A and B are shown apart, each in its own frame.
Chain A
Amino acid sequence: MDFQGNGGALRSPWKMAWRKLRRHRLALMGMWVLILLHVFAIFADFFAPYSELTSDRRRTYHPPTKIHIFHEGKLVRPFVYEYKRVDTLRNIYEEDTSTMYPIRFFVRGDKYSFLGFETDIRLFGVDAPGKIYLFGADRYGRDIFSRLAYGGRRSLFIGIIGLVISLSIGLIYGGVSGYFGGWVDNLMMRIAEIIISIPSFYLLLALSAVLPTNIPPDQRFMLIVAILGFIGWAGLARVIRGMVLSIAKSEFVAGAEAIGASQPRIIIRHILPNTMSYVIVNATLSIPGFILSESGLSFIGVGIQHPVASWGNMLSEALNLSSLTRYPWLLVPGFFIFITVLSYSFFGDGVRDALDPRSRTV
Chain B
Amino acid sequence: MYRYILRRLIYVIPMLLGISSLSFFIMQMAPGDALTTMALSPDVTDEIMEAMRARFWLDQPPYKQFFRWVTQMFKGDMGHSFLWHAPVTWVIKQRVFNTLLLTVVSLIVAWALAIPIGIHSAVNQYSWSDKLLTFFAFIGVSIPNWFLGLLLLYLNLTRGWGLPIGGMTSIDFAEFTFWEKVVDLARHMVLPVIVLSTGTLASLMRYMRSNLLDVLRQDYVTTARAKGLAERVVIYKHAVRNAINPLITIFGFQLGGILGGASLTEIVMNWPGIGSLMLNAVQGQDYYLVMGNLVIGAIMLILGNLTADVLLAASDPRIRYE
Give residues in A with beta carbon < 8 Å to B: 190-191, 193-203, 205-210, 212-213, 288, 292, 295-296, 299-302, 315, 318-319, 321, 324-325, 328, 331, 334, 337-338, 341-342, 345-346, 360-362
Contact = CB atoms under 8 A, between A and B. Distances in A.
24 contacts: A191-B18, A194-B15, A194-B19, A194-B22, A195-B22, A197-B298, A197-B305, A200-B256, A202-B263, A202-B278, A208-B282, A209-B30, A288-B142, A292-B144, A296-B146, A321-B157, A321-B165, A324-B150, A325-B158, A331-B147, A334-B151, A345-B141, A360-B214, A362-B207
B30 A210 contact: yes
B234 interface: no
Given A296-B144, A324-B150, A212 B31 contact: yes
A200 B23 CA distance: 13
Interface of B is mostly: helix
B30 A199 contact: no
Interface of B: 14-15, 18-19, 22-23, 26-27, 29-31, 138-139, 141-144, 146-147, 150-151, 153-154, 157-158, 165, 203, 206-207, 210, 214, 256-257, 259-261, 263-264, 267-268, 275, 278-279, 282-283, 285, 290-291, 293-294, 297-298, 300-302, 305
B234 to A, nearest CB: 22
Nearest to A335: B147
A315 B210 contact: no
A337 B147 contact: yes
A331 B151 contact: yes
Contact of A205 (B151, B214, B282): B282
A295 B139 contact: no
B150 A199 contact: no
Given A202-B278, A212-B31, 19 more contacts: A190-B14, A191-B18, A197-B305, A200-B260, A202-B259, A206-B23, A207-B26, A210-B30, A210-B31, A292-B144, A296-B146, A300-B146, A302-B283, A318-B150, A318-B154, A331-B147, A331-B154, A338-B143, A345-B142
Contacts of B210: 360-362
A362 B154 contact: no
A200 B255 CA distance: 11
B153 to A, nearest CB: 7
Given A288-B142, A324-B157, A328-B154, A199 B297 contact: yes
Contacts of A362: 203, 206-207, 210
Contact of B293 (A193, A202, A299): A202
A175 to B, nearest CB: 22
Given A205-B278, A337-B147, A360-B214, A199 B154 contact: no
Interface centre among A198, A292, A341 (most CB of B within 10 A): A198
Nearest to A193: B15
Nearest to B296: A202
Interface centre among B22, B146, B214, B263 (most CB of A within 10 A): B146
Contacts of A205: 263, 278-279, 282, 290
Contacts, number: 144
Interface of A is mostly: helix
B42 to A, nearest CB: 21
B22 A198 contact: yes
B260 A202 contact: yes
Given A324-B157, A360-B214, A197 B19 contact: yes
A86 to B, nearest CB: 22
The 3 A-B residue pairs with the shortest CB-CB distance in the complex, in nearest-first order = A201-B260, A334-B147, A342-B142
A198 B298 CA distance: 4
A334 B263 CA distance: 18
Nearest to B158: A325
A361 B259 CA distance: 26
Contact of B147 (A198, A208, A302, A338): A338
Contact of B294 (A206, A208, A288, A301): A206
A338 B198 CA distance: 14
Contact of B290 (A209, A212, A299, A301): A209
Contacts of B139: 342
Contacts of A210: 26-27, 29-31
Nearest to B151: A331
A190 B19 CA distance: 11
A315 B260 contact: no
Given A206-B27, A206-B290, A207-B26, A315 B207 contact: no
Given A199-B260, A202-B294, A302-B282, A341 B142 contact: yes
Contacts of B282: 205-206, 208-209, 302
Nearest to B290: A206
A337 B121 CA distance: 28
A341 B300 CA distance: 28
A199 B301 contact: yes
